[in-house]
Structure formats: structure tokens, C-alpha cells
Amino acid sequence: MANRKRNQPRPSTPPLSPTALLKLFKEVKRPLSRAEVIRHLKLKKRDKSVVKDLLGSLVEQGKLIRIRRGYGLAEAMRCVTGRLEIQRGGFGFVVPEDSRRKDIFISQRDIGEAWHGDKVVAAIVRENKGQRNNEGRIVRILERGRKTLPVKIFKQMRDGDWLCRPTDPKLAFGIIATLADESLKLTPGDIALCEPGDKIDPTMWEGQITGILGPEEDITVQEALVKSNHNIRTRFPSGSLSQAEALPEEPSEKDLRGRRDLTAKPFVTIDGSTARDFDDAILVEQRNNGYRLWVAIADVSHYVPEGSPLDREALERGNSYYFPRSVEPMFPERLSNGLCSLNPDVNRLVMVARMDTGEDGVTRSAEFFPAVIRSHARLTYGQVKKAILDKEPEAREAMGEVLPMVELAEKLARKINLLRQRRGSLDFDLPEAEILFDDNSEVVDIRPKQRHFGHQLIEEFMIAANEAVARFLTESGLPCLFRIHPPADEEKLKNLFRLLAQTDKSILMPKEMEPKVIQRLIASQAGTDKEYIVNRMLLRSMKQAKYSPINEGHFGLASEEYCHFTSPIRRYADLVVHRLLKAALAIGDKDAPPRPVPGLKKLTNVAGQLSGRERAAMDAEREIHKRVMVLFMRDKVGGTFGGVISHITDYGFYVELREVMAEGMVRLSTMDDDYYTYWPHREMLVGERTGQSFKLGQAVEVVLEEVSLERLELNFSLKSVTAAAMDYKDLI
């Protein structure tokens, strides 16, 4: 009898999972202790440790908050999980994981021990209506954004420890560090890698030096520390490298099956002179009633199955990262510069978007299919400028047989560009910095990049292909990873119109802030003394584009449906779109096996990861340019420079130099001729006694007083105002 009882199966208990626990908390609608969780789910004592682990995991994820006697649902306790982004002023914003939520403002006193880049839980302490961000405080640090910090070594202390400080100006504390390996030889001024430990006091932490990058004046060292600051991976795991090495050097006969053979067609690539990976090729043909535009994009998805080591690493990276002296690619060179790069005179697998347009450039129909091409020429933007735009005989002869096709391409690109302008697409005329090096890798100049219609030619065709693919996926009823750009900040746009109307009564406040309205404003101020202020303030009003499976349109391009399809070698989002496109094509192909289609939740998670890594790439690019700028200006202290006022604050104004692409600040504390008041509604500083004003776009002469690599700052003093300052009385 006892044996029979012992052998009887135990009654089953409900399956334990994070989802089941969260469901319980939502149903009960109040905080629960661990014992209450076990009781509600009718669990046994043996399940106690499992419940404890699951609750701990949900706390780590920021789904639950640990309170005095149990656990509470984070969202019910007005808590939000996200990444902390600290600004130079010491305050910060939490960017929520849920992209539908607004960023949360965190004052300096409410940041606690959190660092820039940490994954945190923020409690909402004040909800603000309208455009203003909600306010919150950090209640938990879920994960440090960086496990290792680049630090500058200052000095060795008596006990042998080293005093150092993070190179990131947003981390305002010092570190007393030991050496992980006594063989490491440090010198004050070196940049090293440090694993932070415990906090000693409000301004000091413990740490351990694990490696040395080198002297701080070395550009490669600066690049290495920026990569570390932004968690940019610099090595490929062995699994992804092995997968890449196992791939063939050329497409095999098996790879070509089911593809259209376009190797005889004169496709060309057009890129920068230093480019090494070519993921797009174009071809334009004249038709009786218009044009046929072919855009061929490297078929990376053919070689990178979803979930494979290469795919997982590419998703982790999100995109390639470009630096003045190096690149951290999304894929190993075997793919990025070899098998998937559309190099000339070799067969390459592609996905093609073929668009037939009218004589006016309007796309009438589009078709998508896999193909194999053979690029007939590797052209550069410089070649296109000389041969097509400048009509230089030698350059035209050097272009050879593809010259007529490229001329036709320019003709079509101008028509497509005109169509974009008519619908309200925005183009800001703001220069990008180009860093020039000598043979010794020393910076010799930082100047604006030269742009011309050769660059625009390719951009127009890529935008057309991206829109066509997004439209096709939408009409197919399949999901798409859209590239969305929210409407501009309406209040900032209104401030701009109010500011301009003060001196130009013909400028009226529009009823709706549509792209066409903004475009007309840009055109009306082109070539005037207000062009600079208009471009700068419009740029500040723009929100950041991002990825999302929910289509909200692209404000900047005035596009209803837009995605990224044209750069799968360097952007993971494009790889996702290629897979979705193949899934859509398989639906209409009886011979093709069905392809899996990701659900909304999965695409949302991927979109969040990619948008985050894109922000990291942009921040890293800005930081390395600042660091190079500061290093370049170090030996120019005391020099006089001409520039324009680029930004105004209540403590001074920033000046953008003309001679070199660098920017620094003139602080009010250095101006002793008057007391100045900041007028934010007019973007001005006005002298209380003299009435002298400083406004955006105003030309000034400044003296470089200080260069700080630690703060990434240039500080100027005002020498003279070289453009007539407007008396504030004229504006009243």
C-alpha cells in the first residue's frame, strides 16, 4: 500500500515562466511577496528556489521593482526601463526601451550612481503635458553600459596605485587603480583600460588597469578609446570568422540557380575614392516613354542565414563604424570586401529593384528579383564630376564605354531630385568635416567635404529603390522594417518663424508645419544673411530617424513609405529587409519554398537594437571628430581666427571657425565690457548698458585661449565683431 502510494505520479504544477509571473502581477493588480506568488500559483515548497530565481531575473530586466516586502510591477509603479544618456550640463535623459514612450528628463541630483550608457529603471516623478519630457529619478541600475573604461593616467601614488580619470567627459569622477598585471608599464599621459570597482566617495572609485592603449596624442589611440567608450566590437568571434572563411571566393554554379543573368548589362558602382566595399550598382536605360532604372544590391542574405554565427554578430554590431584611420565592419573582410562586394569584372549575387519611369522620372512600375551581375566599372564621385559635370575631355575618355549610360543616369537623377523637391523633401546645406593626414598620420587640415551632384546621383537612385521596396512590402501585406522620421518639433519651428518675422514682415506663421512649408522657408532664405540661422535652427528642430515595424512615414524625405534596402554590407536593417523581400517574392512563386516571416514583437526588438547601435555609431563619429579637432588645435593657442556664431546659451556662445572645421566657446565670463542677458525667444545675447547684441550667424574674430582634451573643449575670447551688431532697440 505504501509502495503503491509512493509510486503514484505527483499532481502537476503550473509551468513556471517569466511570462506566467508577469501575468499574475497584472491580474492581481498589487505588489506581491514571494510567498504570495507561490500561494497564488498553487506551487509546492520545492518550487521556492525557482520562483526566487525568476523574480530576480525579472528585477534584473527592469520588469519588476523590489520593494520592502516583495515585488511590484514596474509599469504599474510608474517606472520605465531604458538607457541613460547624460548631457554635458550634468543632467540626463532615459531613452525608454519601449520606443513609443517619450524620453524622461533626469536632473543631476536624481542620477545617483548611474553612469552615461547604463541600463536603468527610472521612476516618473512628474508628468508633463505637450512636448515637454516627463521627469524622473534613477531607482535602479540594471546593467553598466561599459564594463571597461578608457582612462587617462595622471600619476602613481605612494602605495603603487595609479590615479586616473575616465576619458569620457560625461563621467566626472576619478579612479584609484591597481595593476592587473605587474608587467604593465605606465607613464603619466598614457591612455589605459580600467575595470571599475566599488565607489570610495562621491568623486572617487576603485579600479584595476587591464591594458594600455598608448599615448593620448596618437590618433589610433584616440580611435581605440572612442570604440571602447561606445562598446564598439573590434574582434570577430571565432564562430563567425570560421563561417566566413568557409565561404567560396566566387559564387558557385549552385548559387546561380534561379537567378536572372544580367552579367552582360553595363552596371557600374560609384563610390568615394577610398571605399573598399561596394554594395550597390546602377544602370539606366532609355525607354520609348521614359527610363528604366536598375538598382542592384549585394545579396548578403544568400550567404548569411538568419541565426548563424555571422548573423548573430552582425545583429550585435548593428552597422559598420567608420573612423578617420580605421573601420570596424559589420561583416569580416572575406564578405564585406570580397564575396559580397560588387567589385568590377567578377560575378556577384544581387537583389535587383527594376523601376520603369515616365519621361518626368515618376516611377510607374517596379519589379524585384534575384540576379547575378558583373560590374563593368568602378567609378568614383571625382570621376563623375570631371567627366559628367565638368565635361573634361580626358576624364570622359577615361570613362570609356559606360560614359553614355552615366550621362543618362545624371539626366534621370536630376528629374527624380526635382520630384523630391516638389513634394517637400528637405536638404540642409551643412558641410561635413573631412580630416586630412600626412604620410606620418599627422592631421594637416580639417576642412568641409566637397559635395556635388555626383554624390546626389547615387543618393536619388537609392532613395527611389528604398521607397519602391517599402511600398511593395506594404502592398504585399507583409511586415517591413521601416525607416521612420517623426515630424519636427513644432514649438521649435514656431520659435524660428517668430524670430524671422521680427525683421521680415512677409514671413507668416504657417497653419501646419509640413515639409513643404519648411522647404519653402529654406529656399526663401538661400543666399541671404539669415540662411545660416535658418539651417541651424531647422536642424535643431529635427528629431532623430529610427527603425520601426510600424510605419509613421519619413518627415525629412516627405515619404509615405521608406525603408533601408541598399546597404546590407554595412547596415543590418537592410539585411532584414532583404529577407522580408525574399519572403514576399516566395509567396507568388509556386516553386519557391515558403520563407519564415518575423512577427511584430521580434521586429520591434530588432528595431530597438539597431536604432541604439546607430546612435552609438553617430555619437562615436562625433566624439572622434571632436578629439581630432582638439589635438589639431593644440599648437594654435594664441592664434586669431574668423568665425560665425553657431549656438547661443545663457553663459556664452559657440563660434564655428572659417579657416578650419572646428568649434569652441566664448564665455560671458571673458567679456568685461558689459553685462549680457540671454533672450531665448530671439536667440540673442544683449548688453544691458551698450545694447550690443550677439546673434546666430554673426561674424566674429576670436582668439584661441585654451584647448582641453579632457573636456573636449576649445575656449576663445572675443577680439572683434566683424559684422555689424544689431542694436536691440531695433527689435523692440
What is the 3 state secondary structure string of 225-249? Answer: HHHHHCCCCCCCCHHHHHHHHCCCC
Predicted confidence at residue 556, as pLDDT, reads: 94
**What's the rounded Cα separation, in Å, for the pair 402 and 422?**
31
Predicted confidence at residue 131, as pLDDT, reads: 67
Q: N- to C-terminal Cα distance for the chain? A: 101
CA distances for 239 relative to 246, 251, 291, 299, angstroms:
11, 22, 45, 21
Neighbours of 585 (CB within 10 A): 18
Cβ density class 49-64: b for 16+ within 10 Å, e for less: eebeebbeebbebbbb
Residue 596 has pLDDT above 50, yes or no: yes
Backbone angles phi, psi at 712, to 5 degrees: 55, 50
Contact (Cβ atoms closer than 8 angstroms) between residue 25 and residue 64: yes
Q: What does pLDDT average to over the chain?
A: 90
Q: What is the per-residue pLDDT across 349-395, written as a single tens digit (0 to 9) for each?
A: 999 999 999 999 999 999 999 999 999 999 999 999 999 999 999 99
Residue 261 has pLDDT above 90, yes or no: yes
Predicted confidence at residue 722, as pLDDT, reads: 61
The angle at the Cα of 438, spanning 434 to 439, to the nearest 5 degrees, equals 135
Neighbours of 608 (CB within 10 A): 18
Among 61-65, 86-90, 151-155, 166-170, the range with the most confident prediction by mean pLDDT is: 151-155
More confident residue, 731 or 673: 673
Q: What is the per-residue pLDDT across 320-355, written as a single tens digit (0 to 9) for each?
A: 999 999 999 999 999 999 999 999 999 999 999 999
Q: What is the per-residue pLDDT across 446-493, written as a single tens digit (0 to 9) for each?
A: 998 888 999 999 999 999 999 999 999 999 999 999 999 999 989 889
Pull the grid cell for residue 325: 584611420
Contact (Cβ atoms closer than 8 angstroms) between residue 93 and residue 137: no
Nearest to 580 by CA among 705, 716, 440, 474: 474
**What's the rounded Cα separation, in Å, for the pair 388 and 140?**
59
Predicted confidence at residue 726, as pLDDT, reads: 41
More confident residue, 61 or 279: 279
Pick from 142-146, 276-280, 282-286: least confident: 142-146
- Residue 724: pLDDT band (50, 70, 90) is very low
- Mean pLDDT for 287-307 is 96
Q: DSSP letters along 66-107, please?
A: EETTEEEETTTTTEEEEEEEE-TTS-EEEEESSTTSPPEEE-
Backbone angles phi, psi at 55, to 5 degrees: -65, -40
**What's the rounded Cα separation, in Å, for the pair 370 and 381?**
27
- Residue 12: pLDDT band (50, 70, 90) is very low
Q: What percent of the chain has pLDDT over 90?
A: 64
Predicted confidence at residue 107, as pLDDT, reads: 92
Residue 6 has pLDDT above 70, yes or no: no
What is the H or E stretch that residue 155 is in? Answer: strand 149-156
Q: How many residues does the chain have?
A: 732
Q: How many CA atoms does the CB half-sphere of 699 hold within 13 Å?
A: 8
Helix axes 403-423, 515-525, angle to 10 degrees: 110
Nearest to 223 by CA among 167, 180, 277: 167
Among 139-153, 280-294, 513-527, the range with the most confident prediction by mean pLDDT is: 280-294
Residue 11 has pLDDT above 80, yes or no: no
Residue 614 has pLDDT above 90, yes or no: yes
**What's the rounded Cα separation, in Å, for the pair 347 and 360?**
33
Pull the grid cell for residue 638: 594664441
Residue reference for cell 555689424: 724
SS3 361: coil
- Residue 683: pLDDT band (50, 70, 90) is confident
**Structural Rg of the chain based on CA atoms:** 29
**Residues whose CB falls within 8 Å of the CB of residue 254, separated by 6 or more in sequence, listed in order:** none
- Mean pLDDT for 277-283 is 96
Residues forming a β-bridge with 700? 643, 721
Pull the grid cell for residue 636: 594654435
- Residue 15: pLDDT band (50, 70, 90) is low
- Residue 123: pLDDT band (50, 70, 90) is confident
Contact (Cβ atoms closer than 8 angstroms) between residue 296 and residue 289: no
**What's the rounded Cα separation, in Å, for the pair 84 and 8?**
54
Contact (Cβ atoms closer than 8 angstroms) between residue 425 and residue 456: no
- Residue 4: pLDDT band (50, 70, 90) is very low
Which residue ranges form the domains of the chain, and what is each CATH number? 15-73 (1.10.10), 79-143 (2.40.50.140), 149-216 (2.40.50.140), 238-485+547-624 (no CATH), 490-542 (no CATH), 637-731 (2.40.50.140)
pTM: 0.87
**Residues whose CB falls within 8 Å of the CB of residue 158, separated by 6 or more in sequence, listed in order:** none
Predicted confidence at residue 313, as pLDDT, reads: 98
